[in-house]
Amino acid sequence: MSKIVQALLTGIFITFILDFFIFLGIKQNYIDFYEIDLYYNILFADHQNIYLFVISSIILGFMVIYIKNNKLNALIVSFLFLLSLLTLFHDIGHTLGKDILMSKNITLKSAKYIYHGDIYYEGRTKITFYDNELQKMIILNKKDLIK
């Protein structure tokens, strides 16, 4: 196997593990906290930034394979791993989930109603929305909303 392919596969593997723990923390501390009905796989697939994933994979893979300083490589990868594990703490995972998934002060319109509030999660077909007037969480179908 050529060294370039080996570097790319190594980088993909390391980046995948880091992303797994980041999204696990968001799932546990944000999605489950608000009781949003969502599987981990959908969260991971729908919110994966492909550009960031590719760039991280290339950098980490080439760093691990081509840089001969094993202590430096282990230190950097361990640091990134510990950083990704921080999302398993409630405050950090919840805050990161809010930053990535929540939209504040949004107005949505359907044929009958106008909703004012915050989007907690926008999925493929449904939106989990906190309505300020009702003061409760509601689920809205995207197809029922007027653009």
Residue among 19, 25, 17 at smallest CA distance from 86: 25
Report the alpha-carbon distance of residue 96 to residue 146 in Å, rounded.
29
Report the alpha-carbon distance of residue 32 to residue 36 in Å, rounded.
6
Which phi and psi angles does 105 have, rounded to 5°? Answer: 50, 60
Report the alpha-carbon distance of residue 110 to residue 23 in Å, rounded.
32
Do residues 106 and 78 both lie within one domain? no
Do residues 131 and 68 both lie within one domain? no
Partners of 108 in beta bridges: 115
Do residues 16 and 71 both lie within one domain? yes
Q: Give this prediction's pTM.
A: 0.90
- Tens of pLDDT along the chain (147 residues) come to 799 999 999 999 999 999 999 999 999 999 999 999 999 999 999 999 999 999 999 999 999 999 999 999 999 999 999 999 999 999 999 999 999 999 999 999 998 999 999 999 999 999 999 999 999 999 999 999 987
Q: The domain spanning residue 121 has which CATH number?
A: 2.30.30
What pLDDT, on the 0 to 100 scale, is given for residue 56? 97
Do residues 136 and 69 both lie within one domain? no
Which domain, by its residues, includes 51?
A: 3-100
Do residues 82 and 126 both lie within one domain? no
Strands (E) in the chain, as ranges, are 103-110, 114-122, 126-131, 136-141, 145-146
Residue among 83, 87, 89, 93 at smallest CA distance from 34: 93
Do residues 95 and 138 both lie within one domain? no
How many structural domains is the chain composed of? Answer: 2
What pLDDT, on the 0 to 100 scale, is given for residue 127? 96
Do residues 13 and 77 both lie within one domain? yes
Q: Is 121 left (phi over 0), alpha (psi -120 to 50) or beta?
A: beta
Do residues 43 and 74 both lie within one domain? yes
